[in-house]
Structure 1
Amino acid sequence: MSLINVSNLTFAYEGTYDNIFEQVNFQLDTDWKLGFTGRNGRGKTTFLNLLLGKYEYSGTISAQVSFEYFPYVVADPAGQTLDVIHEIDPEMEHWKLMRELSLLRVAEDVLYRPFQSLSNGEQTKVLLAALFVKENQFLLIDEPTNHLDVKGRKLVSDYLSTKRGYILVSHDRAFLDNCVDHILSINKTNIEIQKGNFSSWWENKSRQDQFELAEDEKLRKDIKRLSDSSKRTGGWAHEVEKSKNGTRNSGSKLDKGYVGHKAAKMMKRSKSIQQRQETAIAEKSKLLRNLESSDSLKISQLPYHKERLVELEEVSIRYGDKAVCSSVSLTIEQGDRIALSGSNGSGKSSILKLICGESMNYTGVFVKDSQLAISYVTQDTSQLKGSLSEYARERGIDESLFKSILRKLDFSRLQLEKEMSTLSGGQKKKVLIAASLSEKVHLHIWDEPLNFIDVISRMQIEELLLEYTPTILFVEHDREFCANIATKQYDLD
C-alpha cells in the first residue's frame, strides 16, 4: 500500500481565465478501486492527464507509483494483435497475457489476427488484458464501456472487481456498483472521496442535496432581508444629503454645514453597515456549493393519427452475402418506449436505419407511413461543427428551447458560445439529444445516446422520458437506464 497526495492543486488551460481546479487537496490509497464521477466538462480526463504529467500545474502531486492510462493509442491497427501488445509492453510475459485473456474470455487466436479485424468489444478486452499484465502501476481507466454490449460490460465489470489499484471513469451505474469500493467525485467546487460504491455515494449525495434544499429556503429569506436592509441603509444618507437644499418648517434656511456633517457621518456609518451586510450575503450564498441542477426538461411530441406507427414482420437484413439479422418481428405503437438489445454485430443499428428510411437490402414485411416524422440520434458526433445557433437554424428547431435543454444538462453560458468541435464527447452527445428533443416529431429513435454522458444527466433524461412519455425506440447498453425507461424490450439475440 502507498499513497497519492494531492496538495493545493490549481490548474487552468492556457488562454482561459477559469480554473478547472483551485486549491484542491485529497489523498488516495493505491489499493483502492476508485470510481471517478462528475458532470461532463468538470475535468475528469484533465485530472488523469495531470497525474500523467502532461500539463503544468501549481501545487503538488506526489506518488510512489507510476501511472498507466487506458485506452492505449494503437499506432498500427493493421498489425497483428500480438505485435500491438508487444508495442505497448515490450517486456510482457506471454503466460501472464494468456491468464488475463482467459479471465476476459478472449480466445488465443485473436492474437494472430490483424488488430483492426477484431470487434470493438474484442479490442477493448485485449487492451485491458495488456493493461493488467503490467505490474507496480496505478491504473487510470477512462470509459472502457463505450464499445461494450450489455454482456461485455458485465464480464469486464466482474473482471475489474477482482483487481485493485485503479481509478475508473465510467457513467454506467451498474458497472460501477459491481467493481469499485470508493467514489472520487468532482463536484461544483471541490473534489471529495467517499467509501462505498456509486449507489451508496448517490444516496449520501441525495440526502445532502435534500438538506441543502431545505436550507435554501431559509438562506434565500435571509439574503432578501439583508439586501432590503442594505438598500434602506444606503438610502439614509442620500435623504439627509438631499435635505441640505430644503428649508426648515418655519421657513428659514437650513444650516448646510451642520446637515452636511451629519450626512457625512451617516454615509460613513451606512457604508460600514452595507459592507457587513454584503459580506453576510456573500457568505450565505456560498453555503449551497455542490447542489446539482436537476430541473426537469420539457418536450412535446406530435400526436399521430394512427395507434400503430411502425411494423416489421419476419424482416431480415443483409450486407452483400452476410445476414446481419433475421426474422425480426417488431411493432411500435404510440407511447411505446422500446429498448432494442443484442450483442455487438446483431443488427441493432441496421434495424434503426431501416426504420429511419435508409436504403437497406431486406426481406420480409416493413410498414411505415410516409408522413411519419422521426428524429434520429446517431452514435457518430463527428458532423458537429460550427456554433450551436447555426446548428439550431440548420435543423429548424427552436433555438431558445434547444439551449434551455442544454443549460439544464449542465452547459455553462460560456459553453453555449463554443465551437461545437471543441466540446467533449459527452457534451456533443448532449447536443444531439437536446436537438432531438426540440424537434416536432412522432417518433424518437436513439442509437446508443448515452455514450460519454455523465450519470446525473442520464438521470435527468430518465426523468424527462418518464414524465412526458414520448414514443421512442432506442439502443442503449446502460442496464439501469433500460430497466427504468423501457415499457418493452426486444432482444435480437
Structure 2
Amino acid sequence: MSLIKVTNLTFAYDGSYDNIFEHVSLQIDTNWKLGFTGRNGRGKTTFLNLLLGRYEYSGTISSNVSFEYFPFHVEDKEKYTFDVVADIYPDYEHWKLMREFSLLKLSEDVLYRPFNLLSSGEQTKVMLAVLFLKENSFLLIDEPTNHLDLHARELVSDYLNDKSGYILVSHDRSFLDNCVDHIISINKTNIEVQKGNFSDWWENKQRQDNFELAENDKLRKDIKRLSESAKRTSNWSDEVEKTKNGTRNSGSKVDKGYIGHKAAKMMQRSKSIEQRQHSAIEERSQLLKNVDSSESLKISQMNYHKSQLVELDHVSIHYGEKNVCQDISFTVEQGDRIVLSGPNGSGKSSLLKLICGEEIPYSGVFRIGSQMQISYVSQDTSQLCGNLTEFARSNGIEESLFKAILRKLDFSRLQFEKDIASFSGGQKKKVLIAKSLCERAHLHVWDEPLNFIDVISRMQIEELLLEHSPTILFVEHDSEFCKHIATKIVELKV
C-alpha cells in the first residue's frame, strides 16, 4: 500500500482570475477503486492532469507511484492495432495482452485490423487492456463508457471490478456502483473522498443537503426575528430619547440623565441584537456551501392532431450491399417514451436520422405525420462554436429561455461569455439539450443525449421527462435512465 497525498493544492488556468481549486488537501490509497464525480466544468479532467504533472500549481502532490491516463492519444489511427499497442507500450508481453483481451471478450484478430476500422467499443477495450498491462502505475480512467452500448458497459464494469488502483471518471450510476469502493466528489467549494459506491455517496449527500437546508431555514427565521427585534429596540430607544425634552405626566421636570442612560442601554441592546443578526447571516452564507441546486426544467411540446406520429413496418436500412438493420417494425404514439436498444452498429442512429428526414436508403414502409415538427439532439458536438447569444439567434430560439435552462443545468454567468468550442464535452451536450427544450416540437428525437453529462443533470432531465411526459424517441446506454424513463423498448440486433 502507498498513498497519494495532495496538500494545499491551488490552481487556475493562465489568464483566469478564478481558481479551479483552492487549498485542496486529501489522501488516496493506491489500492482503492475510486469513482470520480461532480458537475460538468468543475475540473475532474483538470485534476487528473494535475496528478500527471501537466500544469503548474501551488501546493504539493506527493506519491511514489507513476500515473497513466486513459484514453491514450493515438497519432495515426490508420495503423494496424498491434502497431498502435506497440506505440503505447513498446515492452508489452503478448501473452499478458491476450489475458486482458480474454477478460474483455476481445478476439486476437482485432490486432490485425486497422485501428480506425474497429468499433468505438473495441477501441475502448483495446486501450483498457493496454492500460492494465502497466503494472506499478496508478490509473486515471477518464469516461470510458461514452459510446459503449449497454452490454459493453456491463462487461467493462465487471472487468474494472476485478482490478484496483484507479480513479474512474463516469456519470453512469449503475456502472460506478458495480466497480468502485470509494468516491471522490468535486463539490462547489471543496473536494471530498468518501468510502462506498455511488449510491452510498448520493445517500450521504442528500442527507447532508437536507440537513443544511433545514438549518438554513432555521437561521433564516432567526435572522427575521432578530431583525424585527433590533428594529423594535431601536424604535424604543428613539422614543425614549425624544422624551428628554418633554415633561412627565405629573408635570414635574424630566430627568434627562436617567432617560439618556435608559436610551443608551436600549441602543446598546439594539447593537448587540444587530451583531447577532450579522453573525447569523454570515453563518447562513457558509452553510449552503455544497448544496447543488437542481431546479426543475420545463418542456413545451405541442400536441399533434393524430395519435400516431411515426410508423415503421418491416423497414431495413442498407448502404450499398451492407444491411445496417433489418425488418424493423414499431410505431410512435403520442405520449410514448421509446428507447431504441441494441449493440453498437445495429442501426439505431441511422433509424433516428431517417425519422428526422435525412436521405437514408431504406426498404419497407415508413410513414411520418405531415407537417410534424421534430427536435433532434445529435451525438456529435464537434461543430459547436461561437457564443451562446449567436447560437440562440442562428437556431431561432428565445435567448433568455435558453440561458435560463443552462443556468439550471449549472452554467455560471461567466460561461455565457465564452466560445462554445472551449466548453467541456458535457457542457456542449447541455447546449444541445437546452436548445431542444426551447424548440416547439411534436416529437423529440435524442441520440445518446447523456454522453459526458454529469449525474445531477441526468437526474434533472429524468424528472423533466417524467413530469411533462413528452413524446420522445431516444438512444441511451445509461441503464438507470432507461429504466426510469422508457415506456417502450425497441430492441435492435446486429
Which TM-score bucket, shorter chain as reference?
over 0.9
* 8 Å contact from structure 1 (residues 182, 193) kept in 2: yes
Q: Is the 8 A contact 1:233 1:274 kept in 2?
A: no
Counterpart of 1:484?
484
The one-letter code matched in structure 2 to 1:192 is: E
Stretch of structure 1 that moved more, 306-315 or 209-218: 209-218
| Closer/same/farther in 2, CA of residues 267 and 8 from structure 1, 3 Å limit | farther
Contact 2:234 2:266 in 1 (8 A): no
Corresponding residue for residue 66 of structure 1: 66
Q: Which range moved further: 9-18 or 305-314? A: 9-18
- Displacement of 1:481 after TM fit? 0.4
1:159 deviates by 0.5
Partner of 2:254 in structure 1?
A: none
For 1:467, the equivalent position in structure 2 comes to 467
In the alignment, the residues of structure 2 paired with residue 438 and residue 340 of structure 1 have an alpha-carbon distance, to the nearest angstrom, of 24
What residue identity is the alignment partner of 1:47?
F
CA drift of 1:225 comes to 3.5
| Whole-angstrom distance in 1 between the partners of 2:339 and 2:234 | 61
Letter in 1 for 2:376: Y
State the alpha-carbon separation in 2 of the partners of residues 382 and 326 from structure 1: 30
- Give yes or no for contact 1:338–1:487 (8 Å, CA) kept in 2: yes
Moved more, 415-424 or 70-79: 415-424
Question: Which residue number corresponds to residue 95 of structure 1?
Answer: 95
Distance 1:419 1:270, change over 3 A: farther
Alignment-derived partner of residue 51 in structure 2: 51
- In structure 2, do the counterparts of structure 1 residues 264 and 61 end up closer, same or farther at CA, with 3 Å as the change threshold? farther
Match of 2:169 in 1: 169
Unaligned runs of 5+ in 2: 249-258
Partner residue of 1:431? 431
Please give the alpha-carbon distance, in whole angstroms, between the structure 2 residues aligned to 1:451 and 1:381. 10
- Name the structure 2 match of 1:253: none
In the alignment, is the contact (CA less than 8 A) between 2:312 and 2:365 conserved in 1? yes
SS at match of 1:50: helix
**Equivalent position of 1:401 in the other structure:** 401
Q: CA RMSD in A?
A: 2.7
The residue that corresponds to 2:215 in the other structure is 215
Superposed, which structure 2 residues align to 1:16-55 within 5 Å? 16-55=16-55
Q: Does the CA contact (< 8 Å) of 1:447 and 1:476 recur in 2?
A: yes
Tell me, in whole angstroms, the C-alpha distance in 2 between the residues paired with 1:420 and 1:292: 23
User: What's the secondary structure of 2:402's corresponding residue?
Assistant: helix
CA distance in 2, matches of 1:361, 1:181: 48
- Offset, 1:234: 8.4
TM-score, normalized by length of structure 2? Answer: 0.92
Q: In the superposition, relative to structure 1, how do residues 95 and 23 fare at CA in structure 2: closer, same or farther (>3 Å)?
A: same
Contact 1:124 1:147 in 2 (8 A): no
Letter in 2 for 1:394: S
Instruction: Give distance in 2, aligned partners of 1:249 and 1:43.
Output: 70
User: Does structure 2 conserve the Cα–Cα contact (< 8 Å) formed by 1:426 and 1:453?
Assistant: yes
Deviation at 1:139, TM superposition (A): 0.2
Indicate conservation of the 8 Å contact 1:317/1:325, yes or no: yes
Corresponding residue SS for 1:286: helix
Q: Name the SS for the 1:290 alignment partner.
A: coil
Q: Say if 2:285 is the partner of 1:285.
A: yes
2:147 maps to 147
Secondary structure of the 2:287 match is coil
Q: 1:440 to 1:231 in 2, by over 3 A?
A: farther
**Which whole-Å CA distance do the structure 1 matches of 2:138 and 2:78 have between them?**
29
TM-score with structure 1 setting the length: 0.92
Name the amino acid aligned to 1:186. Answer: I
Q: CA deviation at 1:207?
A: 1.9
For structure 1, which segment, 112-121 or 370-379, has the greater mean C-alpha deviation from structure 2 after superposition? 112-121
Partner of 2:301: 301
1:16/1:85 CA distance change after superposition, 3 Å: same
**TM-fit CA distance, 1:63:** 0.8
Letter aligned with residue 354 of structure 2: L
- The alpha-carbon distance between structure 1 residues 60 and 265, as it changes in their structure 2 partners (threshold 3 A), is farther
Structure 2 residue aligned with 1:371 = 371
| Equivalent AA in structure 2 for residue 42 of structure 1 | R
Residue in structure 2 matched with residue 329 of structure 1 by the alignment: 329
Per the TM alignment, residue 17 of structure 1 is displaced from its structure 2 partner at its CA by: 1.8
**Are the structure 2 counterparts of residues 230 and 27 from structure 1 closer, same or farther at C-alpha, using a change threshold of 3 Å?**
farther
1:256 aligned partner: none
Alignment partners' CA distance in 1, 2:60 and 2:268: 45
Residues 90 and 227 of structure 1: CA distance in aligned 2, closer, same or farther (over 3 Å): farther
Map 1:437-456 onto structure 2 (within 5 A). 437-456=437-456
CA contact (8 A) 1:373 1:442 kept: yes
Is the alpha carbon distance of 1:369 and 1:404 closer, same or farther for their aligned partners in structure 2, counting shifts above 3 Å?
same
Aligned amino acid, residue 25 of structure 1: S
2:196 corresponds to: 196
Q: Deviations over 1:45-78 (max 9, x none)?
A: 1110110111111111111111100000001111
Contact kept? 1:384, 1:421, Cα under 8 Å? yes
Counterpart of 1:172, as a letter, is D
Report if aligned partners of 2:97, 2:133 keep a CA contact under 8 Å in 1. Answer: yes
- 2 CA distance for matches of 1:347 and 1:421? 29
Identity of aligned residues (%): 72
Contact map agreement 2:448 2:476 (CA 8 A) in 1: yes
Distance 1:81-1:219 versus aligned 2 partners, 3 A rule: same
For 1:393-418, what per-residue CA distance to the aligned partner results, in whole angstroms no more than 9, with x for missing partners? Answer: 22222222211211111111211232
Q: How does 1:401-420 map to 2 (within 5 A)?
A: 401-420=401-420
Structure 1 stretches of 4+ with a deviation exceeding 6 A read 230-237, 246-250, 262-273
Q: Give 1:317's aligned amino acid.
A: I
Within 2, Cα distance between the matches of 1:233 and 1:436?
Answer: 55
TM-aligned CA distance change 1:277 to 1:195, over 3 Å: same
Distance 1:364 1:165, change over 3 A: same
Give the counterpart letter for 1:126 in structure 2.
Answer: V
> 1:232 Cα deviation (Å)?
7.2
How far does residue 452 in structure 1 lie from its aligned partner after superposition? 0.2
Tell me if the contact between 2:226 and 2:274 (Cα under 8 Å) persists in the aligned partners: no
Q: Does 1:115 align with 2:111?
A: no
Q: Alignment partner of 1:357: what SS? A: coil
Aligned-partner SS, 2:92: coil
Give the 3 Å change call, closer, same or farther, for CA 418–274 of structure 1 in structure 2. Answer: farther
Distance 2:410 2:436 in 1: 17
> In 2, are the aligned partners of 1:236 and 1:270 still within 8 Å (CA)?
no
Describe the SS at the equivalent of 1:304.
coil
Aligned to 2:356: 356
1:6 Cα shift?
Answer: 1.1
Q: Tell me which moved more, 353-362 or 212-221.
A: 212-221
**1:465-491 CA distance string (max 9 Å, x none):** 000000000000000100100000001
**Contact kept? 2:429, 2:452, Cα under 8 Å:** yes
| One-letter identity of the residue aligned with 2:392 | A
What residue identity is the alignment partner of 1:434? A
CA–CA separation in structure 2 for the residues paired with 1:27 and 1:233: 51
Distance in 1, matches of 2:29 and 2:120, equals: 32
Letter in structure 2 aligned against 1:374: I
- Cross-structure match for 1:255: none
Q: Quote how far apart the aligned CAs of 1:265 are.
A: 11
